Amino acid sequence: MSALKNKPLLKSLSGEKMERPPFWLMRQAGRYLPEYRETRAKAGNFLDLCYNPELAEEVTLQPLRRYGMDAAILFADILLIPHALGQPLAYKEGEGPVLDPIRAATELGRLDLSVIHKTLDPVYETVARLSQSIPKDCTLIGFAGAPWTVATYMVEGRGSKDYANIKQWIYSDPAGFSALIDILVEATIEYLLKQVEAGAEVVQLFDTWAGVLPDDEFRKWSIEPTRRIVEGLRAKHPDLPVIGFPKGVGGNIMAFVKETGVTAVSLDPGTPLDWAAQEVQSLVPVQGNLDPMLLVTGGVAMEKRIATILETLGKGPFIFNLGHGIVPQTPPENVARLSELIRGK
């Protein structure tokens, strides 16, 4: 255990202020890397890649070989849970994920919690392989989507602009919608516990679309399910670090931090840095928050913002990251420059 605790990412998560902050990048594996595109082509389609432990291990390791991040994040997707629950899912070229939507409590019978591990077993095998193959100072992060964000895809059937169907559901039938959230809370706890048992040292919950919820609904559908998941995980693993990422929630991140029990929180690009240093970082370690588009732009604009982030948040427990996932058009050489700046090499 003491050897593990020497890993830079785990030190930051335990509240230590590091001379050089550990770093990793959300969506660090993926289409911006030519070697990823090659492996993905070999796998056939995206889901086949997620369920192939050997190839999923390979794409997880690819960014580490180039850039030496302090963490490896399991290669999978937040929509594997609905898929494992029995909801048909496809990733269409240029369109993103497409699911056969569920829009009412009467349709929840289509989901079966008792069979999820049959589909998800290869993911646990990927985690087990990675726990053996990552560099020794590197921390293995498991993840899942938070129930609200996963539900947006399950109900809308794809990425959405206005969240019309899911909002209609939460406002007209909150009790019915909470039955869907209950299923997702349960599935997510089981899924993450299996990842931890296979070797994940930290887990992150992505609540990418938390910011579309008004205040009181955010408490109901983001804070409360997250709190229950953290509680369920800690019942078995009291010291497990959990990183929350409630994107786009502004000042409500304070309630999220105080009420969910997360170990650390990931900040989106819009979070004011001075405010975060004073109010958020005094409570928990923070992670973030470079705009992924600055990683596309590169050059002086990117370098100046990285310096500002390091100056403001580097004074407390901090993990350098983006404020949202890497986008496919990111030039790999800009990621190399970022790594050089953070690592001081």
Q: Which of 7, 12, 28, 138 binds ligand 1CP (CB under 6 A)?
A: 28
DSSP string covering 23-72: B--TT-SSTTSHHHHHHHHHHSSHHHHHT-HHHHHHHHHHHHHHH--SEE
Residue type, 115: V
**Annotated active-site residue in 32, 36, 40, 129:** 40
Catalytic residue check, 27:
yes
**With 0-12 CB in 10 A as exposed, 13-18 as middle and 19+ as buried, what is 344?**
exposed
Residue 209, both tokens: 């679309």
Q: Where are the alpha helices (DSSP H) in 142-238?
A: 147-156, 164-172, 174-198, 215-218, 224-236
Q: Which of 88, 159, 251, 331 binds ligand 1CP (CB under 6 A)?
A: 159
- Cα 314 to Cα 18, 19, 66, 91, 253: the distances in Å are 8, 8, 24, 38, 20
Q: Which residues contact 204 (CB under 8 A, 6 or more apart)?
A: 73, 141, 142, 143, 242, 243, 244, 245, 266
Under rule CB under 6 A, residue 97 binds ligand 1CP: yes
**CA 328 to CA 27: how far, in whole Å?**
10
Catalytic residue check, 153:
yes
**Annotated active-site residue in 36, 67, 153, 191:** 153
Residue type, 310: L
Catalytic residue check, 227:
no
Under rule CB under 6 A, residue 148 binds ligand 1CP: no
Smallest separation (angstroms) from ligand 1CP to the CB of 294 = 16
User: With CB under 6 A as the contact rule, which of the stretches 26-34, 104-112, 255-263, 311-319 interacts with ligand 1CP?
Assistant: 26-34
Under rule CB under 6 A, residue 46 binds ligand 1CP: yes
Site string for ligand 1CP, 311-330 (x = CB under 6 A): -------------xx-----
Under rule CB under 6 A, residue 31 binds ligand 1CP: yes
Catalytic residue check, 77:
yes
- Cα 185 to Cα 204, 233, 249: the distances in Å are 14, 11, 21
Q: Which residues contact 300 (CB under 8 A, 6 or more apart)?
A: none
Q: Residue with the closest Cβ to ligand 1CP? A: 159
**Annotated active-site residue in 77, 207, 268, 291:** 77
Under rule CB under 6 A, residue 7 binds ligand 1CP: no
- State which residue, 91 or 163, has the beta carbon closest to ligand 1CP: 91
Q: Which of 7, 11, 40, 194 binds ligand 1CP (CB under 6 A)?
A: 40
Residue 48, both tokens: 């086949």
Catalytic residue check, 163:
no
Smallest separation (angstroms) from ligand 1CP to the CB of 245 = 8
Residue type, 43: A
Smallest separation (angstroms) from ligand 1CP to the CB of 159 = 3
**Annotated active-site residue in 20, 31, 234, 343:** 31
Under rule CB under 6 A, residue 143 binds ligand 1CP: yes
**CA 33 to CA 329: how far, in whole Å?**
10
Under rule CB under 6 A, residue 27 binds ligand 1CP: yes
**CA 28 to CA 35: how far, in whole Å?**
13
Residues annotated as catalytic (active site), given as ranges: 27, 31, 40, 77, 153
Contact residues: ligand 1CP, CB under 6 A? 26-31, 40, 46, 73, 75, 77-79, 91, 96-97, 143, 159, 206, 208, 324-325
